[in-house]
């Protein structure tokens, strides 16, 4: 059955060249990622927030502003509509007005990469794609392998050998062809670029196809809906390739055009690890683009991206909303992780913990004012990172007491 998607075109944010969305497209001919455009006036006429409220609790409830045209192509594992959990103990401790965690740890595959994969693979199916291929640090590979399996599409995945074993196993179990590389994700990308023309695979590298952003932007729609179509003062996001923060910014602008939120947008904060902080460096220099970050390293492997293709879009989202970019040390990540687990019962991934580390710094500097409402994005489940914490615990003898 047809879905009333209001998609109109793929448009380049750099040179404004427009492309037909019914054809397979990757980057613009100028090299920029492409963004999906919708007829938002039409969307505002055919759907309102009251209708959306009564739809099933998945990201597909925003179908008018998603790119899939026929619901037979929708591949869903129930992704989206994740909880917006109040963190009241931590809010009190640091005098945030309200602090919420958008918890993507409970989504299928355990990371928010499922959103991009659900929409990306569904659209790939609609476009007749038979093979998807990508380089990954792990989480994206696991998510795309899962949805590709559901679609009956072959997945070809290149991972650095030190990508987490769990994501490797998930991808193989889902039937993906997984190649390990003795190198970084950038090396995986180079091998893929050489291989794609040989096999005619559909390149789903970060931002090289336009639809992953569309899946991830639904986090922005959900935050507004969960706050009663109000926006918070600040949304903070662990930034690697930048798809999430670009998507949330896109969602905010779309919702404003739809009349679902007011004029004021939240300040968007990009949080990075000190060991890989190209966006933070660029922000300090007030630059429009980032420079490749040398010898990047962090336990938060999902944000270990030395140079993102969409860096200029991340920086635009930060500047346009009067947000900022902040880096945290590995020690601060672990401290925040333990604080979240022990004070709130939320065992998050190191990327999510990094965000709390960043927010504490911004509160300390009074960049976030006492009383402001803040949303922290936790992008994945802590249980997907079994090696982040290492404890040597004392044993109790079996005939002993404690
Ligand atoms: C990929 C990833 C990120 C970074 O997301 P981008 O949207 O690419 O910036 C953050 N956290 C986790 C857990 C990830 O897997
Ligand atoms: Zn262009």
Residues 179 and 241 in one domain: no
Cα within 13 Å of Cα(336), Cβ side: 26
Q: What is residue 33's predicted lDDT score, i.e. its pLDDT?
A: 97
Q: What is residue 186's predicted lDDT score, i.e. its pLDDT?
A: 87
Give the pLDDT confidence of 47-92 residue by residue, as tens digits.
999 999 999 999 999 999 999 999 999 999 999 999 999 999 999 9
Residue 402 in domain: no
Ligand 1 atom index nearest CA of 352: 11
Q: Exposure pattern of 317-348 as b/e (b: 16+ CB <10 Å)?
A: bbeebebbbbbbebebbbbbbebbeeebebbb
Question: 243 C-alpha vs ligand 1 centroid, how far in Å?
Answer: 8
49 CB neighbour count, 10 Å cutoff: 16
Question: 379 C-alpha vs ligand 1 centroid, how far in Å?
Answer: 7
Alpha-carbon span 121 to 140, nearest angstrom: 12
Among candidate residues 49, 61, 69, the one with its CA nearest the CA of residue 4:
69
Residues 154 and 221 in one domain: no
Identify whether the C-beta of residue 303 lies closer than 8 Å to the C-beta of residue 354.
yes
Residues 137 and 96 in one domain: no
Strands (DSSP E) contained in 33-82 are 35-38
Residues 186 and 298 in one domain: no
Alpha-carbon span 194 to 192, nearest angstrom: 5
- Does the CB atom of residue 333 touch ligand 1 within 6 A? no
Nearest CA to ligand 1 atom 10: 302
Name the domain count of the chain: 2
| pTM (2 d.p.) | 0.97
Ligand 1 atom index nearest CA of 351: 11
CATH number for the domain that contains residue 19 = 3.40.50.1100
Confidence of residue 1 (pLDDT cuts 50, 70, 90): confident
- Does the CB atom of residue 241 touch ligand 1 within 6 A? yes
Identify whether the C-beta of residue 167 lies closer than 8 Å to the C-beta of residue 235.
no
Residues 98 and 184 in one domain: no
Q: Which long-range contacts (CB under 8 A, 24 or more apart) does 25-32 make?
A: 25/209, 25/210, 26/203, 26/208, 26/209, 27/208
Among candidate residues 110, 193, 210, the one with its CA nearest the CA of residue 156:
193
Residues 347 and 259 in one domain: yes
Question: In the numeric block, which tokens belong to residue 327?
Answer: 């880096």
Ligand 1 atom index nearest CA of 246: 7
- Does the CB atom of residue 139 touch ligand 1 within 6 A? yes
- Which of 82, 106, 119, 139 has most ligand 1 atoms within 8 Å of its beta carbon, as the pocket-test mutant? 139
Give the pLDDT confidence of 342-389 residue by residue, as tens digits.
999 999 999 999 999 999 999 999 999 999 999 999 999 999 998 899
Residues 132 and 250 in one domain: no
Average pLDDT of the chain?
Answer: 97
Q: What's the domain range around 46?
A: 7-74+112-203
Ligand nearest to the CA of 29: 2
Q: Are strands 98-103 and 131-135 parallel, antiparallel or unpaired?
A: unpaired
> Phi/psi zone of residue 364: left (φ > 0), alpha (ψ -120 to 50 degrees), beta?
alpha
Q: What is residue 307's predicted lDDT score, i.e. its pLDDT?
A: 93
Residue 92 in domain: yes
> Phi/psi zone of residue 259: left (φ > 0), alpha (ψ -120 to 50 degrees), beta?
left
- Which of 113, 220, 240 has most ligand 1 atoms within 8 Å of its beta carbon, as the pocket-test mutant? 240
Residues 176 and 67 in one domain: yes
Ligand nearest to the CA of 17: 2
Residues 92 and 117 in one domain: no
- Does the CB atom of residue 113 touch ligand 1 within 6 A? yes
Q: Is the pLDDT of residue 147 over 90?
A: yes
Q: Exposure pattern of 146-177 as b/e (b: 16+ CB <10 Å)?
A: bbbbbbebbbbbbbbeebbebbbebbeebebe
Residues 240 and 347 in one domain: yes
Nearest CA to ligand 1 atom 1: 302
Confidence of residue 168 (pLDDT cuts 50, 70, 90): very high
Residue 315 in domain: yes
Residue 391 in domain: no
Residue 261 in domain: yes
Confidence of residue 232 (pLDDT cuts 50, 70, 90): very high
Alpha-carbon span 89 to 106, nearest angstrom: 21
């Amino acid at each position: 059955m047809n879905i009333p998607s209001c998609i109109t075109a793929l448009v380049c944010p750099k040179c404004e060249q427009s492309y037909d969305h019914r054809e397979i497209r990757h980057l613009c001919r100028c090299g920029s990622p492409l963004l999906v455009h919708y007829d938002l006036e039409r969307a505002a006429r055919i759907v309102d927030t009251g209708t959306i409220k009564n739809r099933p609790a998945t990201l597909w409830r925003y179908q008018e502003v998603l790119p899939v045209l026929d619901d037979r192509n929708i591949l869903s594992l129930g992704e989206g509509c994740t909880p917006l959990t109040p963190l009241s103990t931590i809010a009190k401790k640091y005098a945030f007005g309200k602090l919420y965690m958008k918890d993507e740890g409970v989504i299928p595959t355990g990371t928010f990469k499922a959103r991009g994969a659900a929409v990306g693979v569904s659209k790939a199916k609609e476009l007749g794609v038979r093979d998807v291929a990508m380089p990954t640090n792990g989480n994206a590979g696991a998510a795309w392998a899962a949805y590709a399996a559901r679609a009956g599409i072959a997945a070809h995945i290149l991972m650095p050998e030190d990508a987490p074993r769990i994501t490797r196993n998930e991808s193989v179990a889902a039937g993906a062809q997984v190649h390990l590389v003795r190198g970084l994700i950038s090396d995986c990308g180079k091998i893929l670029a050489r291989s794609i023309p040989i096999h005619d695979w559909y390149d789903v590298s970060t931002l090289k196809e336009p639809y992953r952003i569309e899946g991830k932007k639904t986090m922005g729609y959900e935050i507004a809906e969960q706050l009663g179509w109000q926006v918070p003062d600040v949304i903070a996001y662990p930034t690697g390739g930048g798809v999430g923060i670009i998507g949330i910014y896109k969602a905010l602008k779309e919702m404003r055009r739809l009349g679902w939120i007011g004029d004021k947008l939240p300040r968007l904060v990009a949080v990075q690890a000190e060991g890989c902080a190209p966006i933070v460096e660029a922000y300090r220099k007030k630059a429009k683009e980032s420079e490749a970050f040398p010898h990047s390293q962090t336990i938060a492997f999902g944000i270990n991206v030395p140079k993102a293709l969409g860096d200029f879009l991340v920086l635009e989202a930060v500047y346009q909303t009067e947000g900022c970019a902040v880096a945290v040390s590995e020690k601060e990540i672990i401290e925040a992780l333990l604080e979240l687990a022990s004070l709130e019962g939320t065992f998050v991934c190191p990327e999510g913990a990094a965000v709390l580390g960043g927010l504490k710094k911004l509160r300390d500097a009074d960049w976030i004012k006492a009383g402001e409402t803040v949303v922290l994005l936790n992008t994945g489940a802590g249980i997907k990172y079994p090696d982040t914490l290492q404890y040597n615990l004392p044993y109790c003898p079996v005939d002993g007491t404690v």
